[in-house]
Chain A
Amino acid sequence: MINFLNNVSILILPLIITAILSYAIYKKTPAYEVFVDGAKEGFTLAVKIIPYLIAIMVCTAMLRASGVIGIIENWLGPFLTHFKIPTQTTLIMLTRSLSGSATLGVLADIINQTGVDSYATKLAAVITGSSETTFYVASVYFGAVGIKKFRHALLAGILADITGLILAVFVCSKFFL
Chain B
Amino acid sequence: MNYIFIFLILISIFAAFFTGSIENLINEALNASKKAVEIAFSLIGIMGFWLGIVNIAKKSGLMNKISKIIEKPILYIFPDLKSNPEAQNNIALNISANALGLANAATPFGIKAMEAMQEQNKNKKRATNSMCTFLAINTAGFQIVPAVVIAILSANGAKNPTEIILPTFIVTLCSFFVAMFFAKILERFFE
The answer to the question of A81 belonging to the interface, with a C-beta cut-off of 8 Å to chain B, is no
Contact of B32 with A61 in the complex, beta carbons under 8 Å: yes
With the chains together, A140 CA to B15 CA distance in Å? 35
Contact of B131 with A153 in the complex, beta carbons under 8 Å: yes
Contact of B125 with A144 in the complex, beta carbons under 8 Å: no
Given A57-B32, A151-B187, A152-B189, the answer on whether A42 and B45 have CB atoms closer than 8 Å is yes
Contact of B139 with A34 in the complex, beta carbons under 8 Å: no
Given A41-B51, A53-B40, the answer on whether A129 and B140 have CB atoms closer than 8 Å is no
Contact of B143 with A66 in the complex, beta carbons under 8 Å: no
Contact of A141 with B110 in the complex, beta carbons under 8 Å: yes
Chain A residue with minimal CB distance to B191? Answer: A151
With the chains together, A8 CA to B124 CA distance in Å? 46
The answer to the question of B76 belonging to the interface, with a C-beta cut-off of 8 Å to chain A, is no
Contact of B114 with A141 in the complex, beta carbons under 8 Å: yes
Q: Mark A129-167, 1 if CB is under 8 A from B, else 0.
A: 111111001101110111111111101110111011001
Query: A65 contacts which chain B residues (CB < 8 A)?
Result: 12, 16, 21, 24-25, 27-29
Number of A positions contacting B (CB below 8 A): 101
Contact of B175 with A164 in the complex, beta carbons under 8 Å: yes
Q: Mark B142-165, 1 if CB is under 8 A from A, else 0.
A: 011110110011001111101111
Question: Which residues from chain A sit less than 8 Å from chain B, CB to CB?
Answer: 5-6, 8-10, 12-13, 16-17, 19-21, 23-24, 27, 29, 31, 34-43, 45-47, 49-50, 53-68, 97-100, 104-105, 107-109, 111-112, 116-117, 121-122, 125-126, 128-134, 137-138, 140-142, 144-153, 155-157, 159-161, 163-164, 167-168, 171-172, 175-176
Starting from the known contacts A35-B56, A142-B127, 19 additional A-B residue pairs (CB-CB under 8 Å) come to A8-B166, A9-B163, A16-B100, A16-B144, A38-B52, A38-B55, A43-B48, A46-B43, A62-B28, A65-B21, A67-B19, A108-B152, A130-B146, A130-B168, A151-B187, A153-B132, A156-B186, A168-B167, A175-B166
